[in-house]
Structure 1
Amino acid sequence: MTPNNFDIEKTKLTVGTHEVCPIPTGLFGLDGGAMFGTVPKVLWERSNPPDNKNRIPMEARALLLKSPGCNVLIDTGNGKDFVAKYGEKLGNKFAEMYAMEESGPSLLKSLATHGLKPEDVHHVILTHLHFDHAGGATTERDGKLVPTFPKAQYYVQKGNLETASHPNLREKASYYAANFQPLIDAGVLKVIDGPQEILPGISVLISNGHTQAQQVVKITDGKTTVLYCGDMVPTSSHVKIPWLMGYDLHPLTLMEEKQKHLSEAADQHWYLFFEHDPYCDAALIERSGHDFAVQKRFQL
């Protein structure tokens, strides 16, 4: 249920030739305290009410940029085949711990609503390789883990791949080789280093606050701009600079990054696209003193 204080407007959004299409991959739950770090529960529970285990609902929302002859997917969600990919014990543990929704949308179901099959996706940009962002990048086929999108070029930052390959103890539970090694083996993972334009009008900015070398995706045609925030700003509640996750490795770095990028977003009227917000897809923001606030939320 959407909180009473959320006014959400339905709209359609295009950037250049791209139709901007939210791709929900399934709800799951995370501890509310972990999601809001040092923010008191009495504040965050107003906008993100928890269940009896203190978990708040989260979406794993990918983004499809659909245009004639070129379909670009940003992130891939959790993936629904945890048992097959990680083994029965770990797969069941994932489903229980994170309250994963068995029914409802999935990556491939959501793509199908736009008339697309896995082979119709040409590019997959992975913000980072945490399991809730890259879990749908690979799948089991004929007893072997392979790329989910057989004709796609995948993109990830060099620094993030290095972190995922040799994770620190803090992040070890979030990075799984099953989500990226099959891409390397198939020769479809393009490793890039630093901010750059990947495709015309589609570029990546680097954020090191949440994890090493997360790439935030900027889509623009010079008039309309969408920023796919990934875990830099996971939900619309997190547009406030000090509202950070307990999962973030470098909070002060992340606050500086948010200040920089959200200043541009507010001043230039960018749409922020939220990967984990269960209630809205995107928002416009505005300055609020020395901080930021949501101006308007959207369902695309």
Structure 2
Amino acid sequence: MKIIPLQEGNYFVDKNRAFIPLTSAINEQGLKLAVQPFLVITNTDYILIETGSGHEELGRPIILDLLAKDGIRPEQITKVFLTHFHKDHIDGLGVIKDGKYQINFPNAQVYGQQREYEYALLQTQSTSYNLSKLTPLQHLTNMVWMHEDSGILTPEISYQVVGGHSSYLQVFWIRDGAETYFFGSDNLPQESYWQHSIAYKSDYDGKKARDLRTQWKHQAQEENWKILLYHDMEKTMI
């Protein structure tokens, strides 16, 4: 098995939750973060965990260029696992051309939590969601809507619905022999989240997210997990 971080880039997030490439917002004061989905290659699958912000360069989605650097064509992706439906996690899944939504990974099954999606559709005033790319997902024939609180998706990957950052956010464990990799999404997006016991007001349930991090930290130390970081500007894994 191989795990490849797809380092899309670093962004400044303004008060309207717009993700501005950091090179054009260096002097801005506020939240700065990376966006980096992960590609998991197993004996049978090419799996994307998250799909990035949907930013493009020269009219082409950045995530496709990142895959191409590793010799991967979008048609090779067999599965996409989404933790939740905020725009910086799902907008790289597809593009809108001539008013129609087109998925970037035509041969992939896309796994998302039904309850999380239903909640997201109601957030019409929230700038954390891009409704133009969110609402078409309900019509995709390759969506796999998940209903259980936990389960096994492949021989290597299991999941659990935990909430915290969003209402029904789900996290993933990836196991390769004796190695365990953990993806906590925005409940554990940066290494600094280990260091401070903080309930963030930007989370759906900040106290729950904080308590989950405490639990995971103990488990990670006891079981020697490796942590995949979606928003850390310096590291992809600890």
> Which TM-score band applies after superposition, normalised by the shorter structure?
0.7 to 0.9
Aligned residue type for 1:179:
K
Aligned CA RMSD, in angstroms, stands at 2.5
Preserved contact between residue 24 and residue 106 of structure 1 (Cα < 8 Å): no
1:228 aligned residue (167, 173, 183): 183
Moved over 6 A (4+): none
Question: In the alignment, what sits opposite 1:80?
Answer: 55
Question: In the alignment, what sits opposite 2:221?
Answer: 266
1:184 aligns with 2:138: yes
1:106 aligns with 2:62: yes
Aligned residue type for 1:209:
G
Preserved contact between residue 227 and residue 270 of structure 1 (Cα < 8 Å): yes
Question: In the alignment, what sits opposite 1:162?
Answer: 118
Structure 2 Cα separation of the partners of residues 200 and 79 of structure 1? 29
Aligned counterparts, 1:2-21, within 5 A: 18-21=1-4
Give the SS at the match of 1:72: strand
Aligned residue type for 2:216:
H
Structure 2 Cα separation of the partners of residues 51 and 207 of structure 1? 35
Deviates more, 1:233-242 or 1:138-147: 138-147
Specify every segment of 5 or more residues in structure 1 that has no aligned partner in the other structure, as ranges. Answer: 1-17, 35-49, 82-100, 284-300
Q: Which has the higher contact order (CA 8 A, sep 6+)?
A: 1
Deviation at 1:31, TM superposition (A): 6.2
Give the SS at the match of 2:153: strand
1:138 aligns with 2:113: no
Aligned residue type for 1:118:
P
Deviation at 1:131, TM superposition (A): 0.4
2:166 aligned residue (191, 198, 211): 211
Question: In the alignment, what sits opposite 1:53?
Answer: 28
Aligned residue type for 1:22:
P
CA spacing shift, 1:197–1:241, aligned 2, 3 Å: farther
Deviation at 1:167, TM superposition (A): 1.8
Preserved contact between residue 26 and residue 106 of structure 1 (Cα < 8 Å): no
Deviation at 1:206, TM superposition (A): 1.9
Structure 2 Cα separation of the partners of residues 168 and 268 of structure 1? 41
TM-score, reference length from structure 1: 0.70
Aligned counterparts, 1:251-290, within 5 A: 251-283=206-238
Deviation at 1:140, TM superposition (A): 2.7
CA spacing shift, 1:244–1:112, aligned 2, 3 Å: farther
TM-score, reference length from structure 2: 0.87
Preserved contact between residue 64 and residue 71 of structure 1 (Cα < 8 Å): yes
1:25 aligns with 2:8: yes
Question: In the alignment, what sits opposite 1:286?
Answer: none
Preserved contact between residue 48 and residue 79 of structure 2 (Cα < 8 Å): yes
Structure 2 Cα separation of the partners of residues 278 and 244 of structure 1? 21
Structure 2 Cα separation of the partners of residues 270 and 70 of structure 1? 22
Query: What is the percentage of aligned positions where both structures have the same residue?
Result: 26
Give the SS at the match of 1:212: coil
Structure 1 Cα separation of the partners of residues 62 and 96 of structure 2? 16
Structure 2 Cα separation of the partners of residues 241 and 263 of structure 1? 14
Structure 1 Cα separation of the partners of residues 14 and 135 of structure 2? 29
Give the SS at the match of 2:119: helix
